[in-house]
Structure formats: C-alpha cells, structure tokens
Copies of this chain bind each other. A is one copy, B any other.
C-alpha cells in the first residue's frame, strides 16, 4: 500500500533539496497546503512544470516530487473550495442516496403490509361461545376464550396454568415484560384497551406531546405471549373458588378463573374530604389529559371574546393546581410553557398578560419528597416565572368558579380563608383505594391498611389461605409490621427454647427479619446498639416483652414504598420473573397445567401436584431506587439520592431522554421523538377538540 502523502513528501524533500532550492520553491514551502488535501487537487500540482526536465522516477509511484510547481495563492483557495465542494458533494450524495434507499425500503415494506387474504372456519370451542354458569352469583365462568383453539400454539397454551393480570398500567406491563411465551395462559383484564405512559401526562395535557404517543394497545403488547385481553373492570373476588368477577365492556358480569392472579389496578385520587372535587380535574388517565387540554383552550377562547368581562377573563385565565408533588409541579410548568410559547403567539396578548398560575401545597415546600436543594431550585424557577406558590395551605372547598383554601397568616398566626376565582382546578394530592381494592381488603382478614392492599415481602396478598395471588403497584403496600411475624421469629431464633433471646440468637433473628422484611434492612445496621437499647434490665438477653417493643419500634421506622411508576414497574418485573421461574419449576415436576381445565383428558386433581412455594424459588422483593426527576418548565431536576442535578434546557433534554428510554414500544418511542420535533418546528397543537 501507498504510504501517507506527508511521508512521501518528506523523503522527496530530502533527496531533491539541492536541485529545487529556489525562490518559487520557498514560496511553495510557505504556501503548501495541508497534507490532507485530496487526490484531485494533488494531481493538479503533479503536472511537471518543464517537460524538458523530466522528474526523477520515485519508487512511490511518483505522485509527489520537488519539481512540482508552487501553486499560486488563488489556486490553493480554489483547490480548497474544490475539496470542500467535493466533500459536500459526497455528503449530499450520501444523504440523498440514503434517503432514496430508505424511501424505497419503506415503500417496498409498506406495499407488503396490505393484505386481502380471506379466512374461513376458525375453530372455536363451543364453551367459548356459550360459557357455563357457576360461582356464588351464578355468572358465566369464562373457562375457555375465543382464541383458545385458534391455532396449535393457542391450543397448547390453553392447557397451561391461567395467569390473570388485573390492570394495564406499569405493574401489569412489568409482569408481561418478564414472562416468557409458553409460561402461562395469560389474560389481562383492564378497563382501558391500552397502557399509558403516565409520567408524560402533564405534557399531553397541554399538547406538547400527543396523547396517542403515550398509548400502546394492550392487545399488541400481549401478542408476544399469545395472551388474551378482556376489556372490563374487576369488581369482586371469589377467593375460595379462584374466580375474579369482572364487569365487561358491555355491562355484563362474568367470572374469570385463575390459577395465578396479579392485582395491579392502581389507585384513585385521595379526596382528603374536600367538598366539590367534581369541579376539579385529575391527571391519572389519557381522558383526564384530554379533558384538561379542552378546558384550557376553551378558557383561552372565551377569554378572547370582547364580551367577556375583565373579571371573568381573570377568572378564566387563572389556573389552580392543588398538590406540589411531581405531577402538580409538572402540570403547572407545562401550562406556563403553553402560555409562553404558543398562547403568546396566537391569542390576544392581553390573555397572556392576565394568566395566573397558582400552586397550592399543604407542606412547606413543593417537591417535598426530593432533596432540599431541588425544592429550592424549583421554587426559585417558579418565582421567576411568576407562578404563585401557596405553601402550608390546605384546600377547604372547591366550586365551579373558585377554590377556597386556609392558610396561616404570618402576622396574626391565625388561619385565614382565602379564595381564588378560577375555572380550572387540577387535583393531584395523594392516592386512595378504588372500589375493587376496597372490596378485596374487605373480604380478607389481616388487611388493616387504609390506602392499599397489604402484601408480604413476596408481594402475596396477606390474609389468604391460597397462594398465587399478588398485588403490586399503587393498589398495594408491603407490610412494615415486624411484630406480626413475632412467633415465627422466636421459633427460628430461640435455639435453646428458654423464652429469651440472647445476643447470638438476636443475630439469627436479624437474619430472619432481613429475609422476611427486606425493607427493615436499612434500620438493622447497628444491631448491638438496638439490642442494648431494648434490653432494659441489662441481663444481656431480651425477654418476650422487650422483644415485642423492639420489633414494634423497628416496624415503625420502616416507611412504605412511594406510589410511583418506578415501584410498580419493579414490582411487576419481580412478579414476572418469579412467575416464569414457577412455570419452569412446575414444568420440571410435570405439573404445569391449569387447575381450571375444561378439557376432560387432563387430570382432575391438581392438588396431587407438588406445591412450589415462592420462598423456594425467589427472594423477597427489594426495591432499588433509581432516582426521581421532574420537569419544571424548560428546566428539569434529578434527585439521584447521593447527588442531584438541576438545570435548564440541557437538563430538560436529559429528562426527555430518560422518559424516551423507558417507552413500552418502538412506536411510542418514535412518536414521542416526532412530537418533540413537531413542537419545536410548528409549536403545540392548539386545536380544541
């Protein structure tokens, strides 16, 4: 191969220096172009200046030698231009060719997506057309579904244990993600036909992204598992008979039988006993986001009419957000963005001037679950944006045209009632149980939690004799009471059965606690101190009373996991992995079949199959907090535990990229990217639908 041109040249320079030591040559040295110049321009100089004086042949293909004439100043510029032009040409050609090729591929692919195949005679089990009735309410029990005999794969799956997942949010998606095709006969029961990327709902509420970009049909997600989907709302359980009662999309009630059940139905907003919440919006679903969008644009349209009085205009353009958590903060920030970037441009400027955004927070700071620095940063940003922060305030009443809150007067120290006239109130303050969750806890003993279904560390619903029923996400909470394991713990730890726990036994017990309640781990670092603290008689052992108070004290220190997408997703994945392992284990022991079998050829007595416990195959759930983030209006904050990030546009792009990576499908990923680009190029969509 040819050596790089600068090597060639230096070798030639050395051998020919005597012959070419002249003024023009010096000029050449002075003006010589950088060695990286392209072949085309180099050829131009390579032409011999004097045909009578042939150059010495060089072993390197005589492409450079010292008889090369010094190029004039202008020719160098031209050469450079030519080079630049050539490269631009190459790049453009590459771009055009790639685009052309891409378009061609797209067209060819597209042309093959149109089909007019006809189908006929799809096999269906008669029971899938006329299900038998049964259960306490004598409802149809849908043991066989329409697709169960559609093809051999479905037929094979129909013999597997029935896994029913109730809900279609983060928890359910986590479970589905980690399951393998063939593990179970999977059915998702959900009131919505799609799953929602909830963290971007505030963006969808003002049209920064389209609602469709946050939605992915559950049927499409289930296709990988060849799963089934029933659109409906879970309303009741028959635990003894392993039946889930569902109110279907047509209003009928059915029983869906299960071998394994995952309850992931989420939550509703907490009312905190405030009257008039029917006049407020929530931001938990796509419909909520669209309703908010409609109302915001409606308010601006009405405010633009000259017949609207100045007082009404002020009221219409006053946006009140109750709740200073991430959802509330992001919604306020997005409304501000909409006003700044789009309303300003297309609506009367007076409207922009009259806009006021209010954020009512019951605590001292917004984003109070984040680090203090982040709260401060967000508060300062909001202050600059003239968003009215009302902290330490409690909403006492909501009406169609106002919100009333009470706040301590810093001068008198007394609580005062204040009113904000408004036509838009967003309520995003904590969670509460939905009717199904309430019903489930009502049916079971040992369910004392007020906001969610209590589970053990394996996420199994507490108080149930049967196994295989899990609850995850916002609708569930992991027990924090250690004292309820008292007897078992003593059984394990009290080796000498003397009814007292000495320090060695205490160490054993700590191991057992760690295993059973992993969330206690953080509070079990100084076990010697803990032991001594509760050993009130200082006899170097804990009697049962001392032990009870120790365990109670320990339990109180444990905080429940927050009701976030991150927790739900991790819990879902944990259950998905566990269910897959269970399926594998059962397969090995030859018992991987459903207890609900309508096919008479299969064994009737599934109880003969050896039972596999969760403890055998998996550790208890432990949550790994990856950090929290929030958008605060052309700026974003990240709380990553040990360190925090906060900043302007760069942080905003980082915030977007985090969410972009978490998308459930390549379609939503592409659509989100497009939405962000569209916002940049054409602004937000201002059509009021």
Contacts and interface: CB of A to CB of B under 8 A. Distances in A.
Rank and list the top 6 A-B pairs by shortest CB-CB distance, nearest first: A94-B94, A95-B98, A110-B680, A194-B687, A146-B348, A91-B94
Contacts of A350: 122, 124, 146-147, 150
Given A39-B39, A92-B98, A109-B681, 10 more contacts: A92-B94, A111-B649, A118-B386, A122-B349, A124-B350, A193-B688, A230-B304, A250-B302, A252-B305, A674-B674
Contacts of A46: 61
Given A98-B94, A348-B150, A353 B119 contact: yes
A75 interface: no
A116 interface: yes
B43 A113 contact: no
A248 B345 contact: no
Interface in A78-98: 90-95, 97-98
Contacts of A262: none
A667 interface: yes
Chain A interface residue count: which class?
35 or more
B131 A306 contact: yes
Interface string A43-87: 100111001001001010111000000000000000000000000
Given A302-B250, A346-B223, A307 B122 contact: no
B307 A140 contact: yes
A106 interface: yes
A287 interface: yes
Nearest to A649: B111
19 contacts: A90-B93, A93-B94, A95-B95, A113-B679, A114-B649, A115-B340, A115-B341, A121-B353, A131-B306, A146-B348, A211-B689, A220-B686, A230-B304, A248-B302, A250-B302, A252-B307, A286-B689, A666-B682, A667-B682
A145 interface: yes
A36 to B, nearest CB: 15
Given A114-B634, A193-B686, A301 B217 contact: no
A147 B351 CA distance: 10
A531 B301 CA distance: 60
Contact of A686 (B150, B219, B674, B678): B219
A302 B229 CA distance: 11
A670 B678 CA distance: 9
Contacts of A63: 43
A344 B217 contact: no
Given A212-B685, A674-B674, A682-B666, A250 B113 contact: no
Contact of A193 (B307, B310, B665, B687): B687
